[in-house]
A and B are shown apart, each in its own frame.
Chain A
Amino acid sequence: MSRLSDERLKIADEVIGRFPRKKSALIPLLHLAQEQDGYVTQDAMVHIAEILDLAPAEVYGTASFYEMFKFHPIGKYCINICTNISCQLVGAWSLLHHAEERLGIKAGSTTGDGLFTIEDVECIAACTEAPAVQVNYRYRYRVTPESFDALIAELEDGKLTGEFPPHGTLATIRQETTEAWSNRGTLEQEQVDAR
């Protein structure tokens, strides 16, 4: 799979309908593509360009600005270890070093079995719970080398699939457009063109 599936196309249509202008749905659609394939494929970007009436280069131009979009396969579990100041002050570099030793890879790499990617990331808004770690953008707080090893073991054993959906899946609940949607705020296209 690479182009958006029919099921995701339906979701894409709903998302587009919640914005006055189609291009505003670009980032949400890139998230949909990443959810489908675990990363954003070339084919998905071409498809999104078709859906939004954009050139593929415009899609890639926006996508490449944002850290979360990956353009090649990464691990099923993307482990983001924060090393920013609040975490650095309480041992984040030791934790990152430990993680690299434990998994046998450097930050910014993926294990040979395709299970884990480690990243050395910027502040993830859990500063009072440092050192903070995210697995597929869900948190673990005050992580120690020991609790890190336990986490890896549980992930390897498949015990945490409920807590951590595969990389690419963010929110498991989506906003829905129902009959209660008012649509009063939608901008007329002429007004946009006349700006």
Chain B
Amino acid sequence: MSVPNGPRIITSRFDLADGHTYAGYVRTNGYQSLRKALGTMTPQQVHDEVKAAEIQGRGGAGFPAGVKWGFLAADVHPRYLVINGDESEPGTYKDRMLMELDPHQLIEGILLACYALNAAQAFLYVRGEMAVAQERLAQALNEAYANNIVGKNICGSNFSVDITLTAGAGAYIVGEETALIESIEGERGMPRLKPPFFPAVKGLYMQPTIVNNVETLANLPYIIGKGGGDFKALGAPTSTGMRMFAVSGHVNKPGVFEVPNGVTTFRMLFEAPEYCGGVRNGGDVKAFIPGGASAMWFFPEHLDLALDKPTVDKAGSMLGSGAIIVMDQSTDMVAACWRIVRFFARESCGKCTPCREGTTWLERVLKRMLDGHGRPEDIDLLFEVSESISPGLAWPPRQTTICPLGPSAVSPITSAVRRFRHEFEHYIEHGRPIDGVESPFVVPTASHR
């Protein structure tokens, strides 16, 4: 199988022993794009290059970053850039690598964004559980300040920016941009209602704020160095550039790959020897999740779809945060569904009733099926509760909640029950999985005490 090739853009320093240090970064052309921008470009020109690149946000929603920047309320200061390094969507593993292995690349991206946005302060929010990423970023920021790369009059110019590094303390919901802002303000991480609290208008401290994902910003040094058109040409016109995907689950070689965006297919990722090298034990795919736990599941008929935003959207799911999870024929779909729902039930912030109550109910109903106490009416009950969180059970989901966390808990249920209803019915009738699939639990109650 031939797979499309492309350069390693944001993972280019991952194999260097000193790629995370200032010396290693500068030796490999680091901070050249910053010097180019400060020396030869206006902020508007930097913004225009990012627009020309048509880079879609890498955090989950896939909104074009250049367009998002355009929403920033004009002439209101101070204004802020917030960097979302709270990577926690199940299956997602790329922002942590970017922060640990190439922190200066992220810092350069932050500075380019601040220059384009005319922002004088950035807040870099790293997930609390990532001790090494926090360490590497602290070290990198200290080095950058010491070398006149961050702070007053950067590289001798009139441009000054401070970057404040701060860490979360364990809450998935803080990955939602308004909850992240609440957390930086020292509050419980509960999302704000939009409108009126669109960050670009009323964000951090009620000032105009842009929230960008780590991977999105890590691409900026390349985009400014080589030009937005060059970046765009690397991928498909509808999904530009290179992109990182983490493939986990039942493949021979799980891994994180930077691939040409929009042209590589799921089958290539799963089967090509340079990527995952096939499903384990020579088996077949039963289902896979294309974009993190919040996404609708895909099945073997979707394998030849390209990793292209409009293609995947049209097929009824999303590429989300680039998290692909593969399940082979031995997978217990009731257990898989339950585990994802438990995640959302645990992580619901409790602000909206349909999510707080609904996700908990869904988890309990699935749990009693797994424990052999399922009731004949339980499948209908799952749909009824799901409807109250996400009316119509459609994609993209409608929601009765402030943020998309609640509807995210519905995705695994509609995906798994519609496709594998017989597995749920079998659990209800017999208290165990169908023949040929393996329960992941050692003892029936391993997951619930």
Contact = CB atoms under 8 A, between A and B. Distances in A.
Contacts of A183: 162
Contact of A62 (B134, B138, B151, B186): B186
Contacts, number: 231
Nearest to B144: A180
Interface in A128-167: 128-130, 134, 136-139
Contacts of B250: 89-90
Contact of B331 (A89, A123, A180, A184): A89
Contact of B441 (A93, A134, A181, A185): A93
A21 B185 contact: yes
Interface residues of B, number: 84
Given A171-B131, A183-B162, A178 B145 contact: yes
Interface stretch (A3-11, A24-32, A110-118): A24-32
Contacts of A23: 185-187
Contacts of B446: 93, 96-97
A185 B130 CA distance: 27
Interface string B380-402: 00000000000000000000000
B134 A18 contact: no
Contacts of A18: 162, 164
A86 B349 CA distance: 23
Interface string B98-133: 000000000000000000000111000001111110
A67 B169 contact: yes
A106 interface: yes
Interface in B163-184: 164-172, 183-184
Contacts of B187: 23, 62
A180 B25 CA distance: 21
B343 A84 contact: yes
Given A21-B205, A88-B440, A180 B339 contact: no
B254 interface: yes
Nearest to B344: A122
Interface residues of A, number: 72
A20 B99 CA distance: 25
Interface string B16-39: 000000000000000000000000
B449 A187 contact: no
Contacts of A85: 90-91, 249, 289, 293, 325, 336, 339-340, 343
Contacts of B255: 128
Contact of B92 (A21, A28, A125, A182): A125
Contacts of B189: 65-66
Interface of A: 18-21, 23-28, 30-31, 52, 61-63, 65-69, 80, 83-86, 88-94, 96-97, 106-108, 120, 122-130, 134, 136-139, 170-176, 178, 180-187, 191-192, 195
Interface of B: 78, 80, 87-93, 95-96, 119-121, 127-132, 134-135, 138-139, 141-142, 145-146, 148, 150-153, 160-162, 164-172, 183-189, 205-207, 246-250, 254-256, 289, 293, 323, 325, 327, 331, 335-336, 339-340, 343, 346-347, 349, 440-443, 446-447, 449
Query: Ordered nearest first, which 8 A-B pairs have the shortest CB separation?
Result: A185-B121, A67-B170, A66-B169, A180-B151, A26-B186, A23-B186, A171-B134, A68-B170
Given A85-B293, A88-B339, A191-B78, 16 more contacts: A25-B186, A31-B169, A62-B188, A67-B171, A83-B339, A84-B90, A89-B325, A90-B249, A97-B446, A107-B449, A123-B90, A123-B293, A125-B88, A180-B152, A182-B152, A185-B120
